[in-house]
Structure 1
Amino acid sequence: MSFSDLRDIKINYDVKAIQSMLSLLKASPLPGEHPIDSPPWRLGIEYSFLKRLKASFETSWSWDTLQRKISKHNNYLIHYDTDKGDANNYSLDLHFVHVRSSRANAIPLLLLHGWPGTFFDFHKVIDGLVSPSNPDAPAFHVVIPSLPGYFLSTLPRREGWSLKSNARLFNDLMTKALGYKTYVGQGGDWGSSILRIMASLFPDTVALSLFNMFVAPSSPNSDPSKYTDVERRLVARREEFSTSGRGYFFLQNTKPFTIGIAIASSPLAMLAYIGEKIYSWSDPEKLDPQDILDTVALYYLSGSFATSVVIYNQGSVDRDFIQDPLSCGIKNKFGYLAFPFEIVGAPRADIAAFGDLVYYKEHQNGGHFPALDNPEEFINSTREFFGRHWGNE
């Protein structure tokens, strides 16, 4: 496994590409109303919400504003080969953000996103983690990669790039490319699954891990009568998602090319598809619709939507492994952030079956994208967990 051709890059798109996206959006008509009368959000995205999103995208969204936010921190591309020169080689380009703290004792922190998120999910928390105003608060060297197939990270052309492949890639990024002997990680969605594998396979380098999504079967030690209000809400949200929110999962798992190409062809299709997921999986009182527009723009302009959904198919080989505490137990201390609008959360006892769970923090606001809809508490809890346990693994 080797890295080569590390480059500091500037993120920019041609004015014509941006104008083309917005022109296509404007030329795409919405129906006059919902197909049928139905309770809001029960059958998909709410018409009035999508209408407002579309109008805002067309009239007030700004690439210049988004570009300034992205360019505030250093962006890099690096090439990666698993077996260079061999027929079994997997080759890709990896995009990542790397921001080092001025603190000598800063903790190396890997932040992993999922779908339909991007590396930009974490843009609101970088400065607070890297340069806390309180000198007694822990500081971090922050590394945020784009998963292969997302944004500027390419997906290997050969089939078989699994979640374990991602786990090896990101461990190699932290240790071989960036030179961190040990580090900590935080992840949600696919980032959670990948980080769990990393914490299981690489305990000598992944010192601590923190999750905000956690797939866990019911544990014999779990007693529903003793659940807290947040735990009961997490279970209810998980059950609701399982029965009425997973249609996209089966489609992307079995026919990712079909849905990927169809959605990638239209900014309006992407706005409806991604917008429904981000809204439904977030705290509606805390969600900023601007985050949806920025996310859609990054997918559309980078041309990465079709490759982003392939992970649902290629990652399925590791699904049983992740959910088995005996196979994929977490070797070092870990924590969980319980945000009430999470769609795949779990009670403390179920998560504790996977290892030494030393931190289970309940929050009153926030959802599947907590660094977007509850950045302040995301920062505070991340500091609290890693600050308390780093060096005491």
Structure 2
Amino acid sequence: MNRPTSEVQAFEAHAADADLDDLRARLGAARLPETETVHHAAPGPRRWAQGVPLADLVDVVNYWRTGYDWRSFEARLHQIGQFRTTIDDVGIHFLHRRSARPDATPLVMTHGWPGSIAEFIDVVDELADPKDAEAPAFHVVAPSLPGFGYSDKPATSGWGIEEIAAAWVELMGRLGYSKFLAHGGDWGGVITTVLGGRFPAHVLGIHTTTPQAPPGLSTDMLTAAERTWTEETRAFWGGPRAAYAKQQAARPQTIGYSLVDSPVGLLAWILDKFAEWTDTEDSPFETISMDRLLDDVTLYWLTRTGASAARIYYESHDSLDPELRVDVPSAISVYPRDIEKCPRPWAQERFRRIVRWRSPETGGHFPSLEVPEFFVKDLQEGLAAVLAAGR
């Protein structure tokens, strides 16, 4: 594929001082509700039965206002390398970390919601230039989904998972990567699945932490442990814990007003998910630093993307083609505290060439933040198996 490099522009994130001052002022003037009416001793997930406990939120808000340093996150983005390009009239922001290794393979990494490119900033260096000379190296590209971060907010409907996957192929081609690997989790995992299924001429293989099976499969073939996985996943999507997704799929504009106008509302909406979806006993800060979570939340706040990011649910909720099959080599890792876990016999009905399957002992929905060293090693080994199978 040709390399129209003039269409790719260097980018530097830099929030205005006035915007940071406004954020601190809003945090200082926040109106908070009374404490929750469930009282359980810490640590324990039951403390979160009505959502984010008031005391926990106050601690994070105080640190966000007085101790958190957004400029260090901006500096890290600049160190990695940021760019933008326009695809189908939507500007796409992305990180691009080229490897020094001549044998490196291009890799596109896609985040989900309520994540962002902040999920990957601590792992791209080791993926691009691993300390172990025997480990595979990658030219890492990490785009911000349309409506997220420094990507544009689509002005019209239509930017769902199929359109995003096609845009990623175009993006990688503009960077000179006509063939590449793909990784993702959450929405990024769904988009990665579409990449592998729709674009096998460009995608060498994939790695996902959120495999999704075709609907309507029988549990007869499953072990007792695998049946438990399916029951837990069904309970999640069928119960109140999935209310956030139903809200964002049905009325993203309505919830968007709160997410764009109130930093405390945005923080609580996102913190609730990090607390529930991580492999912890009580608080997400057992495994994820408060700084890194606030990098993610502040990115949403400064770019005013609470509503536009929520719209991915409106565009794509339950939209993965049930007939889609992935024939490129696939590596799959299912973390124990993720919110949905697909048994391998079911996954094999969609992913026809699973070359590596792992069920790690620890980790949840955000493994690159929770267990970054293990995540890097698992991704390296998974993609090495994918590349070996494609030779």
Q: How high is the TM-score relative to the length of structure 2? A: 0.90
Q: How does 1:93-104 map to 2 (within 5 A)?
A: 93-104=91-102
Distance 2:218 2:353 in 1: 17
Distance 2:324 2:371 in 1: 29
Question: How far is 1:366 from its partner?
Answer: 1.2
Q: How does 1:73-222 map to 2 (within 5 A)?
A: 73-81=80-88, 91-175=89-173, 177-216=174-213, 217=215, 219-220=217-218
Show the counterpart of 2:292.
291
Q: Is residue 182–residue 205 contact of structure 2 (8 Å, CA) maintained in 1? A: yes
Aligned residues: 374
Question: How far is 1:320 from its partner?
Answer: 4.9
**2:201 maps to amino acid:** D
Question: How far is 1:287 from its partner?
Answer: 2.7
**1:310 maps to amino acid:** R
2, 10, 13: which is aligned to 1:11? 13
Q: Is residue 339–residue 368 contact of structure 1 (8 Å, CA) maintained in 2? A: yes
Question: How far is 1:375 from its partner?
Answer: 0.8
Task: Note the residue ranges of structure 2 that are not aligned, 5 or more in a row.
Answer: 41-45, 281-285
Show the counterpart of 1:350.
346
**1:146 maps to amino acid:** S
**2:123 maps to amino acid:** V
Distance 1:36 1:367 in 2: 25
Q: Deviations over 1:90-133 (max 9, x none)?
A: x1100001111011110111100010111111111101101111
Cα 1:4–1:162, aligned 2, differ >3 Å: closer, same or farther? Answer: farther
* Worse overlay, 247-256 or 285-294: 285-294
SS at match of 2:90: strand
Show the counterpart of 1:27.
29
SS at match of 2:115: coil
**2:69 maps to amino acid:** S
352, 365, 378: which is aligned to 1:381? 378
Distance 2:191 2:223 in 1: 32
**2:200 maps to amino acid:** P
Question: How far is 1:368 from its partner?
Answer: 0.9
Question: How far is 1:43 from its partner?
Answer: 2.0
Distance 1:233 1:187 in 2: 24
Question: How far is 1:264 from its partner?
Answer: 1.2
**1:241 maps to amino acid:** F
Q: Is residue 278–residue 363 contact of structure 2 (8 Å, CA) maintained in 1? A: yes
Q: Is residue 329–residue 389 contact of structure 2 (8 Å, CA) maintained in 1? A: no
Distance 2:15 2:231 in 1: 42
Show the counterpart of 1:87.
none
Show the counterpart of 1:276.
272
Show the counterpart of 1:331.
327
Question: How far is 1:194 from its partner?
Answer: 1.1
Is 1:241 the equivalent of 2:241? no
Cα 1:18–1:205, aligned 2, differ >3 Å: closer, same or farther? Answer: same
Distance 2:195 2:152 in 1: 21
Show the counterpart of 2:43.
none
Distance 1:383 1:331 in 2: 20
Question: How far is 1:174 from its partner?
Answer: 0.9
Q: Is residue 5–residue 175 contact of structure 2 (8 Å, CA) maintained in 1? A: no
SS at match of 2:151: coil
SS at match of 2:177: coil
Q: How high is the TM-score relative to the length of structure 1? A: 0.90
Q: Is residue 233–residue 340 contact of structure 1 (8 Å, CA) maintained in 2? A: no
SS at match of 1:319: coil
Show the counterpart of 2:283.
none
Cα 1:389–1:215, aligned 2, differ >3 Å: closer, same or farther? Answer: closer
RMSD: 2.0
249, 253, 257: which is aligned to 1:257? 253
Identity rate, percent: 28
**2:134 maps to amino acid:** D
Question: How far is 1:159 from its partner?
Answer: 1.8
Distance 2:6 2:264 in 1: 38
* Worse overlay, 278-287 or 267-276: 278-287
Q: Is residue 182–residue 207 contact of structure 2 (8 Å, CA) maintained in 1? A: yes
SS at match of 1:28: coil
Distance 1:204 1:221 in 2: 34
Distance 1:357 1:102 in 2: 30
SS at match of 1:72: helix
Show the counterpart of 1:85.
none
